[in-house]
Structure 1
Amino acid sequence: MKKLLLTFLMLSAVFSARAQKLAVNTDVLMDACMVPSVGLEMTVGNWSTLGLNVLGCNKPYGKNIKLLAAQPEYRYYFSGRPMHSLFVGVGGVGAIYNASIKGKVYKGIAYGGGITFGYVMNVTKRLFIDFHAGVAAVGYNRKEYFAGDNYGDYVVGGLNKPNASGYYLMPQRIGISVAYILK
């Protein structure tokens, strides 16, 4: 995850001289689910933007869930004007999580990539609403065990080993974002 953030910061430094717009956003649907999110999106050409959303939670609605995730995304706008009208995006996701659901513990990492479609509606010159939805293939490596099993101390060769891995085809970045153009 740290490498992902570092890569985004380096890319933003490279493109900042050319960037025409820089916007900050939050996903209203994720915020309503008690998973606060914040994002940054900047133009990297006449038709495209590069963005990064970070989200996380700790015990939303009193449930024993912890999550920290980053979602970089490249968007291509069909209108010829970034942050306006229809777009398609290609993005990734990286997450670490720890959840207890119905007596079973899931602790691990998730990673993957997918495609997003959406529409950006301008409210004012600097304020806009972004409707988006997508699908992604997300892989995972995690420890799964029942809460009373004491599996959390499972070590092989000095390393904690996951006992479950695989992938899911799942929804990605379904939401409504409110964004404000800073520059």
Structure 2
Amino acid sequence: MDGRKRQLMNLAGGRAWQYMKENLFDSLRSGALVVCEVERIERVKPEPEYTPAEVRQATDMTAEGTEETPATETESTATLYNKEDETMPQDNTDKDAAEKKPFYMAAKTNLLYDAALVPNVGLEFYLGKGWSIGGNWMYAWLMSDTRHRYWRIYGGEFDIRKYFGRKAAEKPLQGHHLGVYAQGLTFDFETGGKGYLSDFSYGFGLEYGYSLPVAKRLNIDFGISVGYDGGKYKVYEPEDGCYVYKETKQRHWFGPTRAEISFVWLLGHGNENSKKGGTK
């Protein structure tokens, strides 16, 4: 109540008070941790010096016990910020990790092809909104001339799928799916008697399946396809150590064209099932 605080606030236009407020007072009070953006402060234009008459007037006011902060304090202590100035770098590692988008893809093999001694591998990529694209490659080159046995095939398949249903809504690449497919391949099959050789065969059609989650990163995909298979193939028979050409035929087949029971390995960030038989 002796007015010294008011005198200090008015000393040199308030600059001394502002300096102590910025550099000393915070350490004398309770505090809290605040993460803020630090920017360079542009100095304000210095206030004009007070005349001795103004200082005496302020002294007379404090002598009367006045402790109120002058209305011009906010104006005298205002600071200007230049948004174009450089700021302190911030560590956004946690933020970037939280905002990292999930990525869904899968590698798979059709166990039915494997059981038929045709090794195969496929990849499937999730495009969003239930849609995916995938491809599969198969290759087998088994032969025994002495027994006239050939089991050779290579080719690929391409499909586009749309997942739907409750499971598909919970997580991509699971649940019911419908799609279209196309395939192209070449083969030479002979098991000791009549043989069949095709330089190129093809097919296309519709597929339906269901992808069942069974482990954290494992699904089993069941599927059936119907459509058309076509292409020319040659018929031959082994005779006297040679392979005798018999005829060329054109295949036209409408109906079931392929079946699938595939192990599906889920790959990518966030592409996990929460538990066996469940979704994340």
Q: TM-score range by the shorter chain?
A: 0.7 to 0.9
Aligned partner of 2:69 in structure 1 is none
Q: Which has the higher strand share?
A: 1
Shift of 1:170: 4.3
Across the aligned residues of Structure 1 and Structure 2, the Cα RMSD in angstroms comes to 2.6
Aligned to 1:177: 262
Once the 2 structures are TM-superposed, how far is the Cα of residue 168 of structure 1 from its aligned partner?
A: 1.3
* TM-score normalised according to structure 2 size: 0.50
Distance change >3 Å, CA 139–CA 177, structure 1 → 2: same
2:130 to 47, 54, 61: 47
Give the structure with the larger helix fraction.
Answer: 2
1:129 & 1:113 partners in 2: Cα distance?
23
The answer to whether the 8 Å contact 1:38/1:55 transfers is: yes
Q: 238, 245, 248: which is aligned to 1:163?
A: 248
Offset, 1:78? 1.1
Structure 2: 5+ residue runs without aligned partners? 1-100, 269-280
- Cα distance in 1 for residues equivalent to 2:194 and 2:117: 22
Count of equivalent residues: 157
1:111 matched to 2:202: yes
2:229 — aligned with what? 138
Residue type matched to 2:172 in 1?
Answer: P
Aligned to 1:25: 108
Q: TM-score, normalising length from structure 1?
A: 0.74
Query: Which structure has the larger Rg over C-alpha atoms?
Result: 2
Give yes or no for contact 1:19–1:43 (8 Å, CA) kept in 2: no
Q: Which amino acid aligns with 1:42?
A: F
Check the 8 A contact 1:19/1:42 in 2, yes or no.
no
How far, CA to CA, are the matches of 1:166 and 1:22 in structure 2? Answer: 35
Closer, same or farther in 2 for the Cα pair 1:163/1:117, shift >3 Å?
A: same
Q: For the Cα contact (< 8 Å) 1:41–1:49, is it kept in 2?
A: yes
Query: 2:141 matched to which residue of 1?
Result: 58
Question: Percent identity at matched positions?
Answer: 29
Distance 1:146-1:72 versus aligned 2 partners, 3 A rule: same
Deviation track 1:85-136 (CA, whole Å, cap 9, x = no partner) reads 1111210111100122563221112101011111011123421111111112
Could you list the structure 1 runs, at least 4 aligned residues long, displaced by more than 6 angstroms after superposition: none
Matched to 2:158, the amino acid is: P
Does structure 2 conserve the Cα–Cα contact (< 8 Å) formed by 1:126 and 1:180? yes
In structure 2, the residue corresponding to 1:29 is in which secondary structure? Answer: helix
Report the CA distance between 1:143 and its aligned residue. Answer: 2.0
Could you say if the C-alpha distance between residues 20 and 102 of structure 1 is closer, same or farther in structure 2, counting changes exceeding 3 Å?
Answer: same
Residue 37 (structure 1) aligned with residue 157 (structure 2): no
Query: 1:85/1:122 Cα in 2 relative to 1: closer, same or farther (>3 Å)?
Result: same
The answer for unaligned runs of 5 or more in structure 1 is: 1-17, 153-161
